[in-house]
Amino acid sequence: MKKLCKCLWILLGFLSIQETANGADENAALWRNTNQSSDWDSSWISSYAVDGLRNRCAHTLTETNPWWRVDLLNEYQVNKVAITNRHHLTAYQRINGAVIRVGNFPDDIYSNTVCAVISTIPSGATSNFSCGGIEGRYVIVHISGNLKTLTLCEVEVYGKVMGNWASRGTVIQSSTSGDRFAEKAIDGNRGLQQLYTGCSSTLNQTNPWWRLDLRDVYRVSRVVITNRKDCCAEQMNGVEIHIGNSLKNNGSNNPICAVIPAIPAGESYSYSCGGMEGRYVNLIIPGDMKTLTLCEVEVFGEGPVLKRSIVKMLFNSRADLTDQPMRENILIQFGSVLADKGFTNVTLSWIQTPEQVIQKGKAPKSCIKVP
């Protein structure tokens, strides 16, 4: 004889959670700052090559060595540059021989690495050029020679962002001492630690914490922390660096990348996190009467990470989960729970229909026995 729970459905289901990373396949050049050697006139300005419209173009004067440049703001590993040429019976040929470069030298074109030399692009067409991961913050297109004209109707740049992402995130801390706001730890300035005014600081409290929200899941290779220089460097001793996706316990439930033994006054120390994945980077000092002061926090690694997880769940439900509309309803509810926790780019689906599971052991009071 088995005890079958008639009032409660205990079901086993497999949920697929697909996180569509924001930005993995985005055009890094879109609406970024641009410049070019000269403007043909005010209806052919450099920003028209990154406006998302392929029918408005950037266009220089006819001159010696014309160039066009976009600033991606962060350093990227550029995989591909797509260029849309002008739609014109003859002028489309002016692009022939243009060079695409990627690098970190906005003012010295020739110091940047050549990604491709354009032999030709048909009138009005878009061609892809593979850059094989050349690293740089700037993408430059130029033509060498006299009496050249550079016209670009759209330049799209695809790749992975590198460098410090901390500055792209948002921050919060457990309390704030004076004007030492949490943001001062990601202001991009390590040097200000001498003055102290460029640092974040909590009050003297129990378990003070500081948290960076990267807004997407990243694979973190290292975290660099800069300590204050004016005094009390020892306050940094025992700071835990946590990386993960949970906000429970102010983030201290997430796995630990490192516990800082000490950082000398005014120095920057790097902690290797071996590719730990997470959206939040939490710094916490456990204990009473502690103050968390940070002059700079930098986060390096890869991302955003496209994540797919399979979760096996045991539901304790009065509803019949073998019923399709009911299952869809559960996904919607689950989705809104995730959204409350900040996971909005998530696709949920059942990869297996839930089955009823017979509960072992003691049946709940309300259950009846069936032969």
Ligand X SMILES: *[C@@H]1O[C@H](CO)[C@@H](O)[C@H](O)[C@H]1NC(C)=O
Amino acid letter, 330: I
The helix (run of H) or strand (run of E) holding residue 59 is: strand 58-59
Query: 308 forms bridges with which residues in the sheet?
Result: 18
Question: Quick one: 128 or 344, whose CB is closer to ligand X?
Answer: 128
Distance of closest approach, residue 314 Cβ to ligand X, in angstroms: 26
- What the block records as the tokens of 368 is 């009846």
Cβ proximity to ligand X, 69 vs 327, nearer residue: 69
Residues 6 or more apart from 90 whose CB is under 8 A from it?
none
Residue 243 has φ and ψ, to the nearest 5°, of -135, 130
The residue (of 1 and 289) whose beta carbon lies closer to ligand X is: 289
Cis before 304 (ω within 30): yes
Q: State both tokens at 226.
A: 């800069």
Of residues 84 and 226, the one with the C-beta less far from ligand X: 84
In contact, 355 and 11? CB cutoff 8 Å: yes
Distance CA 107, CA 121 (A): 27
User: Minimum CB separation from ligand X for residue 290, in Å?
Assistant: 5
User: Of all residues in this chain, which one has the CB nearest to ligand X in the complex?
Assistant: 174
First to last CA, the chain: 5
CB of 8 to ligand X, least distance (A): 31
Question: Least Å distance between CB 75 and ligand X?
Answer: 19
Binding site for ligand X (CB under 6 A): 35, 37, 82, 127-128, 174, 204, 235, 249-250, 289-291
Shortest distance, CB of residue 297 to ligand X, whole angstroms? Answer: 18
Tell me 337's DSSP state.
H
Nearer to ligand X, 128 or 197 (CB): 128
Instruction: Collapse the DSSP code of 307 into the 3-class scheme (helix H, G, I; strand E, B; otherwise coil) and give the result.
Output: strand
CB of 28 to ligand X, least distance (A): 12
Token representation of residue 290:
């502690």
Nearest residue (CB) to ligand X, 11 versus 78: 78
